[in-house]
Structure 1
């Protein structure tokens, strides 16, 4: 049973980590798109 609990905790941490990574990546994409847009309008 202890092993099962450890696996559940690990999965929970993994989920949080994946969600955080997705959030960071999507934010970076938004900023990159905005930068390209602004750069395009500037020139």
Structure 2
């Protein structure tokens, strides 16, 4: 369950930073269903 400011929490594993950028710019922010977003990265080996 997500409570507070966020409506959804998306867990996405990208093959590289370019794939993450593509998701954010071409899919999420271009969607009329997305009003705002706050991406956060977790970098691990």
TM category, shorter: 0.3 to 0.5
Structure showing greater relative contact order (alpha-carbon pairs closer than 8 Å, 6 or more residues apart): 2
* TM-score (norm. length: structure 1): 0.34
The two structures have a TM-score, normalised by structure 2, of 0.33
Larger Rg belongs to: 1
More helix by share: 1
